[in-house]
Structure 1
Amino acid sequence: MRKPLLTGKQYSRPEFRQLTSHVYEVVNSVARTYIIQDESGHALLIDCGYTSNAPISANPHRFIDHLTPYLKTELGIETVEWFLPSHYHDDHLVGYPALKAQYGTKLASSPELKDILENPHNYDMPCLVPQGVQVDQVIKRGQPFHWRGIDFYVEQHPGQTLYHHLIWFSVDGRKFLCIGDNISGVSFRENRDYIHSFIPKNRTPVSSYWDMPKQILDHAPDFILTGHGGGVLFEKTKIERWQAWMERWQTLFTQMIDQPHPNIGMDPHWIEFYPYKVRITPGETLIFKVIITNYQAKAQIYQLHFLSIEGVNLWPEKTEIAVPANEKCVCQIQATFPEKIETHSLPIVADVTWNGKRLGEIAEAIAYW
């Protein structure tokens, strides 16, 4: 008998594990949900994943709230005031709308993640949520976020994805560092040394491989809050072994990737349209940005030839741009769409020539109606 594509799975109630007097995790949520509470029924959550993993294995993008009914009865929580996401992936964000609907929970983020959280359709990235969420407060690098006597720090650092936070705070005489998905969940299921989830589509600069374990060593927390392995005690020797593994991996990728700089081969969006996907009306004119990242130590010349389907007028059709060393440059293209549209989606592509070498149609945007 052929196995069905989607299988149902029974939901289970949340299981809470107490890490310290004021910090809990939901051990059967995917991704892990971390709860910091005070003595008066107030709470702050870091991430809020699917309870019991059922939607991941059955019907993604559907969150059924099997968490909030138990927050009061199990933990005495009356309200969740703030939500801090470790990164933009749906399995970490999916429960936030339920928190907002139930408690009016507000969301805080670094400036670097604000737009992808609020406007996910602007990006061609994996694991986006279907609808954006409002960022109520932007936390600048090095700026403490004060909540109920606890200072939280929320900073963007490349990890499993470019759009990723490190979050750290101290409470109950212990320091906590949330690292999102920097350590693969496989490390915990198999009780092995730490490894990293290698997903280039997430935009993971090669240099970030060495940075991830170094950040943990620099912080030297008491607890590491991981995305798929729960809260674990900091073991310096184990992180040092991971750092050696990541350094070796970084060396191997640098050697293997046949590019002047390995990030050119590792980053699928070193040239990208912004916005990536946009809803249009017939006859509408829109401006798209094209963002080019030059990872090399010298200036590069790019020729761009813009193309679309018949009836879409693009201006300019061609452009040339010089991008300084280790810099980004932005050019614009205007697209006017026909009054009568025969197809649901209207792609716009950039045919790229780099220093005289044609790379082809390697960047695109999608207009739809």
Structure 2
Amino acid sequence: GTVTSDYHGFLGARPQLVESLRRLEAAQPDLLVPSHGQLIQAPRRAIETLLRRLEVCYDKYVAISALRHYFPKMFAEYAGRPDHMPIRPGKPAPECLRHFGTTWVLVSQDKAAWVMDCGSPQVVQQLRALLDKGEIRSIEALWITHYHDDHVDGVPAFQQAFSCPVLAERHVTEVISNPLAWRLPCISPHAIRVDRVLSDGQSWSWHEFRMTAYHFPGQTLYHGGLLAESGPLRMFFVGDSFTMAGIDDYCAHNRNWLGRGVGFDRCLELLERIGPTHLFNPHVDQAFDFTPEQYRFMRENLSQREKLFGELFPWDHPNYGTDECWVRCFPYEQKVQPGAIAGLDVVVTNHSAVPQAAACRPVPPRAWKSGPQPWVEGKLAPKQEGRLALRIAIPAQLPAGRHVLPVDIRYGQLVLPQWTEAILVV
């Protein structure tokens, strides 16, 4: 189709913004006064510059977008551009694999099954059918690539049906084991028991396969990759991070960082180094791969984006503009008792190349009659995440329900009132 939900809509409001800018331009203003920032002394030039930058940024996005595989009509006007990466053809999956829904199943020579993702209870029925037909004799593990509901909603039913361990990389585990603590798109409310938490680069043997888990921050920052090697096969399960058309970064709230050694650049560097014979996406029933030239092309595209996107934002790094969760409350949602003291961390990601001073304070609703709260201050190392601990007195007579607690932020010289929030449930 040509229409997708806002989840698939990176820069999706661009047409409306362009229309708005054109209307503003038609009014022939002498001066533009933004709600933040400096006065704009040359409106026409500023508008044309912004329009040009938006088009260049969107073109760079489309050039390696995985969505070209899912929704080719959506990008019909960009098809065949010589400066866009050609879409790779699919290739047959090895005979040791089965696929249904968003699940890949790796089958050993002695018919043991290693399951990857379980997006619905129907997967359990399909696995039982494989057992009944004798295609597999046992189910020995479930690997979870990431937290999105279409990959984990069936896990509770799976854990009831099969007595095998659930495995996930550490970053994935942090989210799926406590989902209400996170404000992320498409998150499943099911808290999942992970039996084996794996570290980046951790390897082990499973039947004739050598397995290696990786932190794979592609489609989302909290994402795992799995390499299965046997003989000439080096099969890498990328989750939703890639299709044969490129990278899956169409929802910025998934936290797709730009920069050398982070986000998709980290993923591409890893794949370049490993040299998989096959790549697998749970939504795609074929295998695929990339050429060395395509790996280089995608990394160069991302490097160019870091500069081009940076021109759109008043920050020293574009990740502040594209990563809405660079300031977040943890836990995002928690249960509290009237009259008690609640605690939460304000987690701040310093995307800058220099240290940054940060401070935060809660802003209780006026009805709480709590008065101004003290600032909590800290110093953040470059390219690191820091935590500032807040404590909030819950009024003794606070009624049952969900209560929003805004949080003010100071960051460097900037004052950012009610920049983020937490949910307190009485």
In structure 2, the partner of 1:325 is 382
Q: CA deviation at 1:37?
A: 1.8
Are positions 1:202 and 2:246 aligned together? no
Asked if the contact 1:34/1:48 (under 8 Å) is kept, the reply is: no
- Structure number with larger C-alpha Rg: 2
CA offsets 1:222-255 (integer angstroms, 9 cap, x no match): 1101132234232415545544544444443233
Asked if the contact 2:92/2:286 (under 8 Å) is kept, the reply is: no
Bigger CA drift: 304-313 or 133-142?
A: 304-313
Is the alpha carbon distance of 1:329 and 1:241 closer, same or farther for their aligned partners in structure 2, counting shifts above 3 Å? closer
| TM-score, scaled relative to structure 2 | 0.71
Is the alpha carbon distance of 1:290 and 1:101 closer, same or farther for their aligned partners in structure 2, counting shifts above 3 Å? same
User: Using the alignment, how far apart are the partners of 2:369 and 2:173 within structure 1?
Assistant: 31
Are positions 1:274 and 2:330 aligned together? yes
Asked if the contact 2:219/2:247 (under 8 Å) is kept, the reply is: no
2:126 to 64, 67, 78: 67
In structure 1, the partner of 2:403 is 346
Q: CA deviation at 1:82?
A: 0.8
User: Using the alignment, how far apart are the partners of 2:398 and 2:336 within structure 1?
Assistant: 11
Is the alpha carbon distance of 1:267 and 1:147 closer, same or farther for their aligned partners in structure 2, counting shifts above 3 Å? same
Q: CA deviation at 1:319?
A: 2.4
Is the alpha carbon distance of 1:278 and 1:77 closer, same or farther for their aligned partners in structure 2, counting shifts above 3 Å? same
2:179 to 109, 116, 120: 120
2:159 to 100, 109, 116: 100
2:168 to 85, 102, 109: 109
User: Using the alignment, how far apart are the partners of 1:261 and 1:205 within structure 2?
Assistant: 10
In structure 2, the partner of 1:25 is 99
User: Using the alignment, how far apart are the partners of 1:367 and 1:99 within structure 2?
Assistant: 31
In structure 2, the partner of 1:57 is none
CA offsets 1:290-336 (integer angstroms, 9 cap, x no match): 12221212222223231122337599532232223333322211122
Q: CA deviation at 1:89?
A: 1.2
Question: Residue type of the partner of 2:215?
Answer: Q
Asked if the contact 1:348/1:365 (under 8 Å) is kept, the reply is: yes
Structure 2: tracts of 5 or more residues without a match: 1-90
Is the alpha carbon distance of 1:85 and 1:283 closer, same or farther for their aligned partners in structure 2, counting shifts above 3 Å? same
2:105 to 26, 30, 35: 35
1:337 to 385, 394, 414: 394
CA offsets 1:147-184 (integer angstroms, 9 cap, x no match): 22422111113111100112101135311011111125
More strand by share: 1
User: Using the alignment, how far apart are the partners of 1:22 and 1:107 within structure 2?
Assistant: 21
Question: Residue type of the partner of 2:240?
Answer: D
Question: Residue type of the partner of 1:220?
Answer: G
Question: Residue type of the partner of 1:44?
Answer: W
Question: Residue type of the partner of 1:199?
Answer: C
In structure 1, the partner of 2:358 is 302
Is the alpha carbon distance of 1:323 and 1:298 closer, same or farther for their aligned partners in structure 2, counting shifts above 3 Å? same
SS at match of 1:180: coil
More helix by share: 2
In structure 1, the partner of 2:201 is 142
Asked if the contact 2:350/2:385 (under 8 Å) is kept, the reply is: yes
Q: CA deviation at 1:136?
A: 0.7
SS at match of 2:226: strand
Using the aligned pairs only, state the percent identity.
Answer: 20
SS at match of 1:232: coil
Question: Residue type of the partner of 1:271?
Answer: V
Bigger CA drift: 164-173 or 268-277?
A: 164-173
Are positions 1:226 and 2:226 aligned together? no
Asked if the contact 2:115/2:139 (under 8 Å) is kept, the reply is: yes
Q: CA deviation at 1:83?
A: 0.9
Q: CA deviation at 1:200?
A: 1.2
In structure 2, the partner of 1:311 is 368
Is the alpha carbon distance of 1:38 and 1:312 closer, same or farther for their aligned partners in structure 2, counting shifts above 3 Å? farther
SS at match of 1:158: coil
Is the alpha carbon distance of 1:179 and 1:257 closer, same or farther for their aligned partners in structure 2, counting shifts above 3 Å? farther
User: Using the alignment, how far apart are the partners of 1:202 and 1:252 within structure 2?
Assistant: 20
Aligned pair count reads 331
Is the alpha carbon distance of 1:92 and 1:38 closer, same or farther for their aligned partners in structure 2, counting shifts above 3 Å? same
User: Using the alignment, how far apart are the partners of 1:75 and 1:18 within structure 2?
Assistant: 23
Asked if the contact 1:302/1:321 (under 8 Å) is kept, the reply is: yes
Is the alpha carbon distance of 1:67 and 1:312 closer, same or farther for their aligned partners in structure 2, counting shifts above 3 Å? farther
CA offsets 1:88-137 (integer angstroms, 9 cap, x no match): 21111222222211112311122222221210111111111112111111
Q: CA deviation at 1:282?
A: 2.6
